């Protein structure tokens, strides 16, 4: 699915992105390549996008989605030990990844080191506070519940940050011309039933990765049922996002 920005704040972000023309873009901790999808549909122009991650299953999804696009590629590397050349990208982005790292400041510092002087740096992360709708709270509940399971399975995953925490993290970098916005992705109301079935299957599958003898299993199961009840009542929408852009 193409991610094309809509809505008042999203139109502002789209305007910002559409005015940017760059050579090479690096998307750090790219995961399934969702932010690459947003960039390729909204940025003014680019010659190449590289997504970097060392999570093989997610990378496989990203590669499959973009297999016919020659100037978008994904590499399986740890950003902290990457062979990529420092200060070689005109844009570096980090999206929905900071809460997956024990030291998010170090991730930002490392990502920033690959950016050329005057290049663009973007942070785009979901936040857990603010004026979330009940359907957006569904997303936050699911995300935080899933984070508990990931931690049990030795995959580092904290709860998402607040908007102010994300702004403070961005302040650890020396960004010029910094802009901070909040936005939400568009949600198709006709997809409510589809989402209900999707999460019923997905959450049960996620819970199955936890040993039933684990001391937290019953609490996780109870919380899952509460989330599914919330999905039935309010549906699902992507939580509000923090978008920060500046230059080096």
DSSP letter for each residue of 66-120 = TTT-TTEEEEE--GGG--SPTT-EEEEEEES-GGGSS-HHHHHHHHHTTEEEEEE
Q: What single DSSP character describes residue 245?
A: E
Q: Confirm if 98 and 30 have CB atoms less than 8 A apart.
A: no
**pLDDT for residue 234 is more than 90:** no
The rounded radius of gyration (Å) of the Cα atoms in the chain is 18
235 forms beta bridges with none
Does 1 score more than 60 pLDDT?
no
pLDDT at res. 5? 42
In this predicted structure, what is the pLDDT of residue 195? 74
* Closest by Cα among 93, 118, 104, 82 to 13: 93
The DSSP bridge pattern shows strands 24-28 and 89-95 to be parallel
pLDDT of residue 7: 45
Angle ∠(88,93,98) on CA atoms, nearest 5: 125
At residue 16, φ and ψ (nearest 5 deg) are: -60, -50
Q: How far is CA 234 from CA 3, 14, 135, in A?
A: 23, 29, 5
What pLDDT digit, counting tens, does each position of 40-88 carry? 999 999 999 999 999 999 999 999 999 999 999 999 999 999 999 999 9
Contact 96, 126 (CB under 8 A): yes
Tell me which H or E stretch contains 39.
Answer: helix 34-42
For 113-124, b where at least 16 C-beta lie within 10 A, e where not — what string? ebbbeebbbbbb
What are the domain boundaries of the chain? Answer: 8-247
Instruction: Compute the mean pLDDT over every residue in the chain, rounded to the nearest whole number.
Output: 92
- Minimum mean pLDDT among 109-118, 126-135, 147-156, 179-188: which range? 179-188
Per the document, the length of the chain is 248
pLDDT at 187 over 70: no
User: Which DSSP state fits 246?
Assistant: E
76-89 burial code (b ≥16 CB/10 A, e <16): eeebeebeeeeeeb
Read off the pLDDT of residues 102-131 as tens digits, 9 standing for 90 and up: 999 999 999 999 999 999 999 999 999 998
Q: How does pLDDT run across 18-42, given as a tens digit for each residue?
A: 999 999 999 999 999 999 999 999 9
* pLDDT for 4 beyond 50: no
Taking only the tens place, the pLDDT of each residue in 207-224 is: 999 999 999 999 999 999
For the cut 70, the answer to whether the pLDDT of residue 168 exceeds it is yes
- The CATH number of the domain covering residues in 8-247: 3.40.50.150
Average pLDDT over residues 143-161: 97
End-to-end C-alpha distance for the chain, whole angstroms:
32
């Amino acid at each position: 699915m193409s991610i094309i920005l809509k809505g008042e704040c999203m139109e502002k972000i789209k305007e910002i992105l559409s005015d940017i023309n760059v050579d090479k873009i690096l998307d750090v901790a790219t995961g399934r390549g969702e932010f690459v999808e947003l960039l390729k549909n909204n940025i003014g122009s680019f010659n190449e996008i590289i997504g970097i991650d060392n999570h093989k299953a997610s990378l496989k999804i990203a590669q499959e989605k973009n297999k016919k696009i020659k100037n978008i590629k994904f590499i399986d590397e740890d950003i902290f030990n990457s062979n990529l050349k420092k200060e070689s990208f005109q844009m570096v982005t980090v999206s929905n990844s900071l809460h997956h790292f024990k030291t998010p400041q170090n991730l930002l510092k490392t990502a920033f080191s690959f950016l050329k002087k005057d290049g663009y740096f973007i942070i785009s992360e979901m936040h857990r506070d603010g004026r979330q709708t009940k359907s957006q709270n569904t997303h936050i509940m699911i995300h935080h519940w899933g984070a508990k399971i990931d931690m049990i399975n030795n995959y580092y995953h904290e709860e998402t940050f607040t908007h102010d925490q994300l702004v403070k993290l961005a302040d650890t970098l020396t960004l010029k011309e910094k802009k901070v916005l909040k936005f939400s992705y568009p949600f198709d109301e006709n997809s409510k039933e589809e989402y209900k079935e999707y999460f019923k299957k997905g959450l049960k599958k996620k819970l199955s990765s936890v040993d039933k003898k684990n001391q937290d299993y019953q609490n996780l199961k109870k919380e899952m049922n509460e989330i599914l009840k919330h999905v039935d009542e309010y549906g699902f929408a992507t939580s509000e996002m923090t978008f920060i852009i500046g230059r080096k």
